[in-house]
Amino acid sequence: MDVRDLEVFLSVAKHLSFTRAGEEVHLSQPSVSVRIRQLEEGLGVKLFEQAGKKVALTEAGRLLEPCARRVVVAIEDAQHSMEEYRGLERGSLRIGASTTPGMYLVPRIIARFKHRYPGIKIHLAINDTRSIEQKVIGHEFDFGFVGGHLISGELEILPWLTDEIVLVMPPGHPLARKRQAKLRDLSGEQFIFREHGSATQAAVGDKLQTAGFQLETVMEMGNPEALKQAVQSGLGVAFLSKFAIEAELKAKTLTAVKVQDFDVRRELRIVYRKDKHIHRAAKAFIEMAREKPGLSTER
Last residue of a domain, one of 57, 86, 115: 86
Domain count across the chain: 2
* Domain annotation covers residue 21: yes
Nearest Cα to 93, choosing from 54, 121, 65?
A: 121
Last residue of a domain, one of 86, 121, 149: 86
Please report, for the domain that includes residue 74, its CATH number: 1.10.10.10
Please report, for the domain that includes residue 185, its CATH number: 3.40.190.10
* Domain annotation covers residue 96: no
Q: What is the pLDDT of residue 299?
A: 41
- Owning domain of residue 184: 164-265
pLDDT at 101 over 90: yes
Residue pLDDT, tens place only, 19-33:
999 998 899 999 999
Residue pLDDT, tens place only, 245-299:
999 999 999 999 989 888 899 999 999 999 888 888 899 999 999 987 666 554 4
pTM of the model: 0.73
Residue pLDDT, tens place only, 59-90:
999 999 999 998 988 888 888 777 766 667 77
* Domain annotation covers residue 124: no
Last residue of a domain, one of 86, 117, 147: 86
* Domain annotation covers residue 122: no
